Structure 1
């Protein structure tokens, strides 16, 4: 394998954003990497934008991954399934300002972390121009999970997150909506006692295209993993209650350990 990092980018008509994002990755990312652009349908305007302007991301390996269904969750799952590198990161399609932190995240992974969070709420991070309802919910969730549930990150709800190969291969994802998989993997890794790190990240409200983050629609799914995080901290739940993969093609020799999820 000639790359150490797979950068999974879920897209939905991101033609107005993707070239700047790929250009930033090509300029700033030093870790040998491959970019997986995960799309729903062939008419997505992201595809011709990338194919017709290879000069904007010269030297960056790019592959296109067609989702088996539709939606943000399906896009990320398609990327995970196609990934082969020892480290995987889910990166926003409209983010042309955080490429420079990926090498720092990789360095933490190499020092033993299984998850590294890109944190808007630690020193050096920021979240700007966020719609007020989303900002209130996200900041409240972050404060609650970090200070009360004792999750070792200040930004537990972000979808911009890096995972080790063993997280992708060994922990089954039960969520099926939006970016809920991200907090699910985080709280399961926490229950297992695996290491979690974070680096400061920037966040600005997108300028082109519509966000796929649907706060109210996904809220019940997020609350399930809130309860899981609190149960880990206050009910001393066993690591054996984490659902592990039993697919022999992804994790040979593992048996599925089923739980009540909480």
Structure 2
């Protein structure tokens, strides 16, 4: 049966902690699903534990990211490898509520291209986390919704569902951290595509140690923050802009162009 939702989990040396994460997801996701554990290297400590889970539940598939190191490339690879029409990106750290994966996926089924789990709408909450990061993300979410009308109060949250056809149409330019969430929200806004949100309660990392580096990732977040305020674009204009900026970093594979078969098919 073709899955209705692909859950994309970028990992980096999560070790045995991935088992708790997967157990929660497999218990709570009721839609036909596949769960991609996207790792950058065969020797990643996550891999043997993910394979053990995969032996007892065929929904789980560890896949090797060949687009280059880092979470942005892992997420790009996972969405390209998705066999479902909806991809939900969630973290391996226990911060996100897996019960909401089905709800986010159903919003995309209904026609939105980005469905966000929002910490900052009524009913949402953020528990813990660095103070500066909390303040910056809340400020960005409020101003983007009020001034750029992006359709969500939490554009920076990584816990989102995407229409995979939309993502393959507009492309992903991010290559460093977790700014893909704000990039695709900004692109949907510029194309006037629908974005929706549901409230979520986000808990500070429950498993392992955080590797989020605010100083390193902030410039990329700011780039997409300001991009959201531009004039309306057509798909052709956005595609031309993406094509002009697509050169891959040395040593990494470029993203496949829409409609072109590549080695990514082996991961689907």
Q: Same fold (TM over 0.5)?
A: yes
Q: Give the TM-score of the pair, scaled to structure 2.
A: 0.84
Cα gap change, 1:152/1:96 in structure 2, threshold over 3 Å: closer, same or farther? closer
Match of 1:127 in 2: 126
Secondary structure (helix, strand or coil) at the match of 2:23 reads: helix
Match of 1:146 in 2: 145
Match of 1:62 in 2: 60
**Partner Cα distance (1:82, 1:51) in 2:** 18
Which runs of no fewer than 5 residues in structure 1 stay unpaired? 253-262
Cα gap change, 1:48/1:210 in structure 2, threshold over 3 Å: closer, same or farther? same
- Map 1:74-85 → 2, pairs under 5 A: 74-85=73-84
User: Which aligned segments of 4 or more residues in structure 1 are displaced greater than 4 angstroms?
Assistant: 244-249
> Is the CA contact (8 Å cut-off) linking 1:124 and 1:201 kept in structure 2?
yes
> Is the CA contact (8 Å cut-off) linking 2:50 and 2:62 kept in structure 1?
no
Match of 1:110 in 2: 109
**Partner Cα distance (1:153, 1:115) in 2:** 9
**Partner Cα distance (1:120, 1:16) in 2:** 28
Secondary structure (helix, strand or coil) at the match of 1:42 reads: coil
**Partner Cα distance (1:197, 1:21) in 2:** 26
Offset, 1:111? 1.2
What is the CA RMSD across the aligned residues, in angstroms?
A: 2.2
Secondary structure (helix, strand or coil) at the match of 2:20 reads: helix
Q: Give the TM-score of the pair, scaled to structure 1.
A: 0.86
- Map 1:1-262 → 2, pairs under 5 A: 1-53=1-53, 58-59=56-57, 61-68=59-66, 69-95=68-94, 98-231=97-230, 236-239=231-234, 240-243=236-239, 250-251=258-259
Q: Deviations for 1:49-101, whole angstroms, at most 9, x for unmatched residues? A: 2233568xx54511111122211112112212211211111111122761111
Number of equivalences: 246
**Partner Cα distance (1:182, 1:43) in 2:** 28
> Is the CA contact (8 Å cut-off) linking 1:20 and 1:96 kept in structure 2?
no
Match of 1:257 in 2: none
> Is the CA contact (8 Å cut-off) linking 2:152 and 2:195 kept in structure 1?
yes
> Is the CA contact (8 Å cut-off) linking 2:192 and 2:232 kept in structure 1?
no
> Is the CA contact (8 Å cut-off) linking 1:35 and 1:60 kept in structure 2?
no
